[in-house]
Amino acid sequence: MDNNEFEQLSSLWQSSEEKTMPHMDKLLKRHKRQSFILKINILIELAAILAVSYMFILSFFQNMSLIKQLWVGFATVWGMSLFVLMSKSRLSSLKHLKSAQLSTSLEAHRRLIKNEIFRWSLSIKATWLFMFAFTVFGITKCYFTSCTGNEGTQFAISFIVLSVAQAFFIRKNKTAKVVLHTLEE
């Protein structure tokens, strides 16, 4: 391709039709709304952790069976560890997002996507662990105490929900890795 041909391409490119320019005030409002939703999500997660912790503490006073106590204990430790690790990674991402670097440096994007991959991998491992513990809990409960049909259905539904969530996490993780590869190509 010689210079003349490229100049023709360049003028062809620059003559393409423009998109409609957005109203900046509406755009800024939408951005603020997104930040608000992000904060609400963090609050919901925190509330869920607190609720499980409360149940765990309550289980000591309510003479819950050992199996149930172990289960609630596991859920509390699992939730807290996940929340702390996730929040740490999120904070690191938020730092990059707040700095001007994101608009000016490709390296900042790489770090962000690596953080995202870490969070998805963590979610995958945590969900495997949760599914394993959930299965152990279900089997133990049915083995030592009686299991009704209703409980069996609840167990199956919970397992399906967890499997769907796991499939979602695996897909997200795979996509994030593809994006990192694209950024590094």
Site for other proteins in 120-159 (CB under 8 A): none
> Based on CB atoms, which residue is closest to other proteins, 1 or 37?
1
Helix axes 149-184, 106-144, angle to 10 degrees: 160
Residue 167 engages other proteins in binding (rule: CB under 8 A) = no
Residue 41 engages other proteins in binding (rule: CB under 8 A) = no
Residue from 62, 65, 81, 105 binding other proteins (CB under 8 A): 105
- Answer for the pair 83, 46: CB distance below 8 angstroms, yes or no: yes
* Minimum distance of other proteins from residue 27's CB (angstroms): 5
C-alpha to C-alpha distance for 174 and 63, rounded to whole angstroms: 44
Helix or strand holding residue 45 (H, E): helix 24-61
Residue from 4, 35, 63, 104 binding other proteins (CB under 8 A): 104
Q: Per-residue contact track with other proteins, 11 to 40, x per CB under 8 A?
A: -xxxxxxxx-xx-x--xx--x---------
C-alpha to C-alpha distance for 16 and 92, rounded to whole angstroms: 40
C-alpha to C-alpha distance for 8 and 10, rounded to whole angstroms: 5
Residue 61 engages other proteins in binding (rule: CB under 8 A) = no
